[in-house]
Each structure stands twice: as C-alpha cells, then as structure tokens.
C-alpha cells in the first residue's frame, strides 16, 4: 500500500492499493474510512487491515459496475458493512454479473445500504468529493474530484496512456451502455477541471501532471477516429482546449495542424478565435 501524501501533503489520509493484473486498484481515503472501488484481488482485506480495524470502513464509492472494480465488495462488506455509493445506471448494470452477485446487491438495497450518486453531488467528508458523471466507458461511470488537492479519481474513464492495457481497459463497453461519442464528451467535461493528480483505476497514479493524461486520452481518441487526417485531429483537439480556456495549448495544436498539412479554413478560424480569446483575457486582466 502506498501513502499518497508522501507525494503531496494535500493528499492527506489517502492510500493506494496497487492494481493487480486486470483487477483495479483501490484508494483508501480518510485513513481507510472511505474506499474508492473495491478491486477484485486476493489479500486486499489484509492490506486494508494495516490501516486499522476493518469496521472503520464506512463507505465504498464505486466508479462503475465492472467486476474488476466491484468484485471485492462482498468480502469487505462481510467485515465492515459499509454503505455502497454508485450511479443508478451502474446499479442496473450490476445485474449483468453472475449470481449470487446480483442477489447480494438486491439484499443490500433492501437493507438501505445502497446510495445513488448523480452528477454534481458532493460526497461530504475529508476531503469532500464532487461527483462527475462521465459516461462513455460504461453509461454509469463516475469520477470523484477533490478540489482541495486537485485530485481526480478517474476509474476507467481516464487511464494513463503509458500503461499497455489502457486503451483496452477504458474502451466503450456497449453492453453497459458505453459509447464513443459519450466518452469524448466526458473527456471534454474533465478538460475544464483543474487536475493536478490523476488517480486512475488501472496503472500507477500520475502526480502533479495528471491533467495531461486527460488531454492525451482525448487526442488519442481523435487520432484513432480521424485516421490519416492528422490535421483534423489537431484542430479538433485545439477547439476543445479553446473551449476549456487552455489558450496556450490550443495555439500549439494550431501549429501542429499546420505542420501536419494544409492551411484549412477550420485552422484559420480556430487561430482567429484563439487570438480573440487572448485579447479578451488580456483586457479583462488589465481592467
Ligand atoms: Fe477496470
Ligand atoms: Fe471498466
């Protein structure tokens, strides 16, 4: 288990239990009172016990319904009876797993242990976590954002691109309502949030420059979508960055688009809109 506050003191009380194979990693917050995801790996309970008595676990926040993130809930529940928080669509998709898993969750619901989360909700605690609904990988994907440390718990919605399985593990799962168009919208939404630390469901956390992973994920999608048309991928990325107020990076995209090919009308239009946004920003800054 890794203490995340060793990287940044703002990540107070946070730990990471490393992912194992295709099983997701697990984050313990508030010295173990709150978990994000439950993984599906052997020995998780023993690692959590290192933080203190297991009955201190009060709640598990689930990023989505895939078994590699929720499989460990049963074992933790037997030890600590935490409340389980998730998006209503993820709740529905839990029914797709093999028995006895769906029946287990039905029993939890009857005991009022299931709490539904929606976009914009805030899970109170230390830190408070903002709920961001980012459908795309599945329809019920949630990210959790801690504004005090600018940390984003991203589940499979954003995975570090250097990990070899990232593209496979974060691709849209149509059975659970995943759609590429939604994934793009979800990443565009995340682009507007200042992210310093990316705490993903697979792969190691990316400290201090975590926000770059959102940009890389989105650009990787555009590259796969537009194939040989590199200029189109750069322009589309530039438009998204402009919409998020990231003017410097938007300008870099225009330069890359120019390197990649012709000076299209779209590229000129983007260039002019960035320039106008810069003037507006400077005027506002001066006034
Ligand atoms: Fe996963
Ligand atoms: Fe997943």
pLDDT tens digit sequence for 183-203: 999 999 999 999 999 999 999
Whether residue 162 has pLDDT greater than 90:
no
- pLDDT given for residue 96 in this prediction: 96
Please tell me the distance between residue 113's alpha carbon and the centre of ligand 2 in angstroms: 23
- pLDDT given for residue 242 in this prediction: 97
Please tell me the distance between residue 115's alpha carbon and the centre of ligand 2 in angstroms: 20
CATH number of 2-223: 3.60.15.10
Average pLDDT, the chain: 95
Please tell me the distance between residue 202's alpha carbon and the centre of ligand 1 in angstroms: 6
- pLDDT given for residue 287 in this prediction: 53
Please tell me the distance between residue 156's alpha carbon and the centre of ligand 2 in angstroms: 5
Please tell me the distance between residue 225's alpha carbon and the centre of ligand 1 in angstroms: 23
Q: What is the pTM of this model?
A: 0.95
Counting ligands in written order, the one closest to the CA of 201 is 1
Please tell me the distance between residue 172's alpha carbon and the centre of ligand 1 in angstroms: 11
Rounded to an integer, the average pLDDT of 7-36 is: 95
Counting ligands in written order, the one closest to the CA of 171 is 2
Rounded to an integer, the average pLDDT of 6-30 is: 95
Please tell me the distance between residue 254's alpha carbon and the centre of ligand 1 in angstroms: 34
Instruction: Give DSSP secondary structure letters for the chain.
Output: -EEGGGT-TTSTT-EEEPPBTTBPPEEEEGGGTEEE-----TTHHHHHHTTS-GGG--EEE-S---HHHHTTHHHHHHHH--EEEE-HHHHHHGGGSPTTHHHHHHHHHHTT-EEE--TT-EE-SSS-EEEEE-TTSSTT-EEEEETTTTEEEEETTS--TTSTTHHHHHS--GGGT--HHHHHHHHHHHHTS--SEEEESSS--B-S-THHHHHHHHHHHHHHHHTT-HHHHHHHHHHHHHHTT-HHHHHHHHHHHHHHS---HHHHHHHHHHHHHHHHHHHHHH-
Counting ligands in written order, the one closest to the CA of 38 is 1
């Amino acid at each position: 288990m890794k203490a995340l506050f060793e990287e940044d003191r703002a990540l107070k009380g946070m730990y990471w239990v490393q992912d194992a194979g295709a099983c997701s990693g697990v984050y313990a917050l508030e010295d173990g009172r709150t978990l994000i995801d439950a993984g599906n790996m052997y020995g998780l309970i023993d690692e959590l016990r290192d933080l203190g008595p297991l009955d201190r676990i009060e709640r598990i926040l689930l990023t989505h319904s895939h078994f590699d993130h929720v499989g460990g809930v049963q074992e933790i529940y037997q030890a600590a009876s935490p409340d389980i928080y998730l998006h209503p669509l993820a709740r529905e998709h839990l029914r797709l797993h093999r028995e006895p898993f769906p029946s287990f969750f039905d029993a939890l619901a009857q005991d009022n242990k299931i709490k539904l989360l929606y976009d914009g909700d805030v899970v109170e605690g230390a830190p408070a976590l903002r709920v961001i609904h980012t459908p795309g990988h599945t329809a019920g994907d949630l990210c959790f954002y801690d504004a005090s440390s600018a940390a984003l718990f991203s589940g499979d919605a954003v995975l570090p691109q250097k990990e070899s399985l990232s593209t496979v593990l974060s691709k849209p799962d149509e059975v659970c309502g995943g759609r590429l168009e939604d994934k793009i919208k979800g990443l565009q939404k995340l682009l507007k949030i200042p992210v310093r630390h990316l705490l993903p469901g697979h792969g190691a956390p990316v400290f201090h420059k975590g926000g770059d992973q959102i940009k890389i994920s989105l650009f990787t999608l555009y590259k796969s979508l537009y194939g040989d048309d590199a200029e189109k991928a750069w322009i589309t990325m530039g438009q998204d960055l402009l919409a998020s107020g990231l003017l410097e990076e938007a300008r870099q995209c225009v330069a890359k688009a120019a390197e990649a090919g012709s000076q299209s009308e779209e590229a000129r239009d983007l260039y002019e809109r960035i320039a106008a946004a810069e003037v507006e920003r400077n005027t506002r800054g001066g006034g």
